[in-house]
Amino acid sequence: MRRITLILREEVDPYLPIEAEVICPAILSKRIDVSVYVGNERKQLTDVFHVRVDGEAAGPAATEIILVGDCHQVKRVGEYMTDGRIIIEGDIGMHCGDFMNGGTIEILGSAGDWLGREMLGGKILCHGDAGNYCGSGYRGGRKGVRGGEILVEGNVGDFCAECLFGGFVHVKGNAGIHAGCNMKGGKLLIEGDCLMPCGDMFDGEATVFGHVTDFLPTFKEIGKVTEDGHALVSFRGDVANRNAKGTLRVGSFERI
């Protein structure tokens, strides 16, 4: 097992974004003489982080990367990750786990926008909150997350699981507006409350244990169910889409 500890240097400007897609087991298991962009300036990884390496190189699957410090401006960590493990001891910036296909990312703090964007596989566990577009696809794309699992123990922002195509997005807290919009597959679970979920839904399963504000009128009630001890009302929709097959279950709701 190779353990690579990265400690953000105190002299790094906290207001400059750091493009750090090289912080990934597939890359750092082979070499650490890599560079990142701090703002528009290219710097060596060792100029931005104190780097400590323990253990011998044994491939991505046997590589663990630990980020220490406030990394809220560090972006694209774990991008295209296929194996191994990343542990982030504080907060992390945008696009963590973009296009991830395997391995595990654990965030002990909170995450910025686009957590797990267009993820294909693997697992992301965020113990804090996540920003907007958690588990979503980019605007204009037809498929968002296609596989894997994202678990956020806190709250998420707007457009969580937009264009969800596969996999599982699980939010233990509340979600903002339009969670699960344009869903085409996969599974979304929100344990708290949300606002106007699953507009333009075509397929997949979405469940909200809490209360839905401004529930869309284009969902057809089909019955009542119980899931994990929660009494839920089940709907089919979004019927504004012809032949829509999506299932939305909610604890309570108020119509627009």
Residue 53 sits in a domain whose CATH number is 2.160.20
Name the domain count of the chain: 1
Of the pLDDT bands very low, low, confident and very high (cuts 50, 70, 90), residue 143 is: confident
**Predicted pLDDT of residue 215:** 95
In a domain? residue 16: yes
Looking at every residue in the chain, the average pLDDT score rounds to 95
Q: Which domain holds residue 209?
A: 2-216
The pLDDT of residue 58 is 78
For the entire predicted model, the pTM comes to 0.95
pLDDT digits (tens, 9 = 90+) for 64-104: 999 998 999 999 999 999 999 999 999 999 999 999 999 99
Q: What is the 3-state secondary structure (H, E, C) of the chain?
A: CEEEEEEECCCCCCCCCEECCCCCHHHHCCCCCCEEEECCEEEEHHHHEEEEEECCCCCHHHEEEEEECCECCEECCCCCCCCCEEEECCCECCCCCCCCEEEEEEECCCECCCCCCCCCEEEEEECCCECCCCCCCCCCCCCCCCCCEEEECCCCCCCCCCCCCCCEEEECCCCCECCCCCCEEEEEEECCCEECCCCCCCEEEEEEEEEEEEECCCEEEEEEEEECCEEEEEEEECCCCCCCCEEEEEEEEEEC
Choose the weakest-confidence range: 51-60, 183-192, 198-207, 214-223: 51-60
Let me know if residue 55 belongs to a domain.
Answer: yes
